[in-house]
Amino acid sequence: MTALSALFSSADILVVDDNPVNVELLMDLLEDEGYSTVEGMTDPLQVEARVHKKRPDLILLDIRMPRISGLELLELLTKQWGEQTPAVIVLTAQIDEATRHQALQLGAQDFLTKPFNHIEVLQRIHNTLQLQRLLSERMKKADLLESLVTERTRELKILSRQDPLTTLPNRHVILETITQLRSEEKELLTFFIALEGLDEMGRLHGYDIMDQALCALSVHVQQLTDLPIRLLGVWSTDKWVVLCESIVSDELAEQIALRLLGVIQAPLNVQQLSVHVRARIGVSGSSAERNAEQMVRMAAVALPAVDSQWQGYDQTLENSLWRKNQLSDALYAAIDNNELHLLYQPKVDVLTGAVRGVEALLRWDNPVFGRVSPAEFIPIAEANCFIVSLGKWVIQQALAAIVRWRAQQAVDDHFTVAVNVASAQLMEPDFAAWLIDTVQQAGLPTHALEVEVTESGLMQDIPLAMRQLHSLAAAGLGIAIDDFGTGYSSLAYLKNLPVSVIKIDRTFVSEMHTNAQDQRLTSTVIDMARHFQFSTVAEGVEEIEQFKLLKMMGCDLIQGFLFAPPLKENIMLQLVSTGFADTPAFTES
């Protein structure tokens, strides 16, 4: 027995020939070679039942037989079994080309010619079995691959509908669920939840802690079984959506929103750490004209600006968002379209009435929206990171103005122009170098420009802000702390800042003539500034009584409507030339 024969010794071989002698001859030959499963048949009509009972690996099939020919039997098997038809070697004493071609068309793999050559018979059988074995292995591999692909497709379909971290339903499922519930005419409240503080948590404790906190948070929300929650899903990593099947009412929306805020903002214990997540929630209710995407979008529009708050959607929010987006688009083109200009508010010497300097204030006149308040467009510029470009434009315009005024001898060498610098500008690593270089290229002494920064603007990155301000101060630029007392006032950092001016916020000045507490606070700030050898500027001065108190306290400069609002250049220069010594504020004091 050859090694090849041993490999196929268990092959199931069926010999079909109406001549018993041929059947016996082939069976003996195969059994002598070591094949253990060989069966012979002389009645071709029994073959079909045998194949149904047990499909053989190989059929040795005679062509010319009574009742049904080998070709007819092969055609019948092929129709019934298709690709699963057993391998067939045709047995024939003599065969014409047409019959041979027909046999091959019906799927016959090979031919054995009578009388049989034993060596040829065994080799052709071996070749056919080996071919079938290879085909079978390939089919098994193909089936396995198809099975794996099917399973992976199923897994991917599941994953395509899940958030990869929390395994919560994703936005596709959220929209699908809303659509389904609305088709069932269910009333829904959609809660769009903005999770705050995640990045800080990741930077402070590691992003693995942040991920675990999100997973724990999802479990806690899902445990709110007393709420009519139909779905908790993830819109994006820090934006979640809760769908509640509920009557649409402000009262129920408030109850659910407050409950969600309470659970989300409760301390989370993660790896022996207690961490917190803050949240804001916008709410929208279902209505006939709102589709799934609109319900989510409206809830997102309703997000309040302040943490720990919730807000329901209404049309005014939509209008506000539309205006904000339109203004944002228009603001990018405002510089090129010459829509921006500067106004200048005088800073008046408390003792002499002379104008010692001005604050440059940005204004925007748009052909569509008209005069747009800085309180509206500055936050838009900050949110869109356009404030850096805008701030550079203001500085360049202010420097160009100082150059003009000095050339006209409209101001003296000590006259200063103050410009506001946003926190985003301070966070630009090369800001100080750029500003110093820009002032010098304008041909101006650096003390002609004063930089106003807010306390909150320093907090984003105190070390970087300190480096920037020290560079500016070392070059001779004045540094003013704007809105002093309203933010993070701290003597610990104030003593280290290269500050030359403290600006007293209008919130302390506006009622100081009627409020003793405001008087004490303002007086304390002025005394402290004097000890630090800072100059003081009081903002928002509108009443003579306020001016008298500030003068008595020792404030250095006054800025406010008592003397002048922000002015166009020509009018401001007229006031610089005359001063305010002859105004009632000075003549009556």
Residue of higher predicted confidence among 372 and 107: 372
Query: 540 and 426 in one domain?
Result: yes
* Confidence label for 63 from pLDDT (cuts 50, 70 and 90): confident
Token pair for residue 524? 């304390």
Residue 539 designated active-site: yes
Query: 7 and 69 in one domain?
Result: yes
* Per-residue pLDDT reduced to its tens digit, 236-247: 989 999 999 988
Answer positive or negative: Cα dihedral of 44, 45, 47, 48: positive
What pLDDT, on the 0 to 100 scale, is given for residue 487? 56
Query: 582 and 449 in one domain?
Result: yes
Report the pLDDT averaged over residues 65-79. 88
SS3 assignment, position 384: coil
Q: Is 56 exposed, middle or buried (0-12, 13-18, 19+ CB in 10 A)?
A: buried
In angstroms, rounded to a whole number, what is the distance separating the alpha carbons of residues 334 and 394? 13
The answer to whether residue 355 sits within a structural domain is yes
* Confidence label for 6 from pLDDT (cuts 50, 70 and 90): low
The answer to whether residue 158 sits within a structural domain is no
* Per-residue pLDDT reduced to its tens digit, 279-331: 999 999 987 678 899 999 999 999 998 999 999 998 888 788 788 889 999 99
What pLDDT, on the 0 to 100 scale, is given for residue 7? 63
* The one-letter amino acid at 146: E
* Per-residue pLDDT reduced to its tens digit, 321-337: 788 889 999 999 999 99
* The one-letter amino acid at 353: G
Query: 175 and 31 in one domain?
Result: no
Q: Do 74 and 107 form a contact (C-beta atoms < 8 A)?
A: yes
Domain count, the chain: 3
The answer to whether residue 96 sits within a structural domain is yes
Helices (H), 8-46: 20-32
* Per-residue pLDDT reduced to its tens digit, 391-403: 999 999 999 999 9
* Per-residue pLDDT reduced to its tens digit, 138-171: 878 887 888 888 787 777 777 788 899 999 999 9
The answer to whether residue 337 sits within a structural domain is no
Does the structure show a pLDDT above 70 at 491?
no
Does the structure show a pLDDT above 90 at 437?
yes
Q: What is the mean pLDDT of the chain?
A: 89
- Those residues with Cβ within 8 angstroms of residue 236's Cβ, 6 or more apart along the chain or in another chain: 171
Query: 275 and 201 in one domain?
Result: yes
Order of strands, edge to edge, in the sheet holding 37-41? 37-41, 12-16, 58-62, 87-92, 110-113
> Which of 120, 140, 160 is at the close of a domain?
140
The answer to whether residue 450 sits within a structural domain is yes
Answer positive or negative: Cα dihedral of 493, 495, 500, 501: positive
What pLDDT, on the 0 to 100 scale, is given for residue 110? 86
Query: 191 and 123 in one domain?
Result: no
State the maximum Cα–Cα separation within the chain, in Å, rounded to a whole number: 143
What pLDDT, on the 0 to 100 scale, is given for residue 270? 92
Chain-centroid distance of CA 559 in Å reads 44
* Per-residue pLDDT reduced to its tens digit, 112-142: 888 888 888 888 888 888 888 887 788 788 8
DSSP secondary structure of 408-458 = TT-S-TT-EEEEE--HHHHTSTTHHHHHHHHHHHTT--GGGEEEEEEHHHH
Residue of higher predicted confidence among 385 and 270: 270
Is the pTM here over 0.85, yes or no?
no
* Per-residue pLDDT reduced to its tens digit, 449-464: 999 998 777 777 778 8
Does the structure show a pLDDT above 80 at 490?
no
Query: 187 and 102 in one domain?
Result: no
Does the structure show a pLDDT above 80 at 492?
no
The answer to whether residue 330 sits within a structural domain is no
Query: 280 and 352 in one domain?
Result: no
- Residue 370's CB is within 10 A of a number of other CB atoms, namely 8
Query: 562 and 488 in one domain?
Result: yes
The answer to whether residue 10 sits within a structural domain is yes
CATH number at residue 24: 3.40.50.2300
Of 129, 100, 126, 132, the closest CA to residue 113 belongs to: 100
Query: 288 and 175 in one domain?
Result: yes
Does the structure show a pLDDT above 60 at 3?
no
The answer to whether residue 232 sits within a structural domain is yes
Q: Which residue in this structure is represented by tokens 């701030």?
A: 391
In angstroms, rounded to a whole number, what is the distance separating the alpha carbons of residues 186 and 163? 26
Query: 184 and 128 in one domain?
Result: no
Instruction: Report in angstroms the alpha-carbon separations of 298 from 169, 227, 281, 316, 431.
Output: 20, 22, 12, 11, 40
C-alpha triplet 383, 565, 483: angle, nearest 5°: 50
Report the pLDDT averaged over residues 44-48. 89
In angstroms, rounded to a whole number, what is the distance separating the alpha carbons of residues 443 and 226? 71
Residue 34 backbone dihedrals phi, psi, to 5 degrees:
110, 5
Residue among 359, 452, 455, 539 flagged as catalytic: 539
Residue 553 backbone dihedrals phi, psi, to 5 degrees:
-75, -15
Residue 227 DSSP code: S
Does the structure show a pLDDT above 80 at 354?
yes
Query: 123 and 232 in one domain?
Result: no
* Per-residue pLDDT reduced to its tens digit, 77-106: 888 888 888 888 988 876 778 888 888 888
CATH number at residue 394: 3.20.20.450
> Poorest-confidence range of 132-136, 373-377, 433-437, 574-578?
132-136
Report the pLDDT averaged over residues 569-579. 96
Domain boundaries, position 60: 3-140
What pLDDT, on the 0 to 100 scale, is given for residue 288? 67
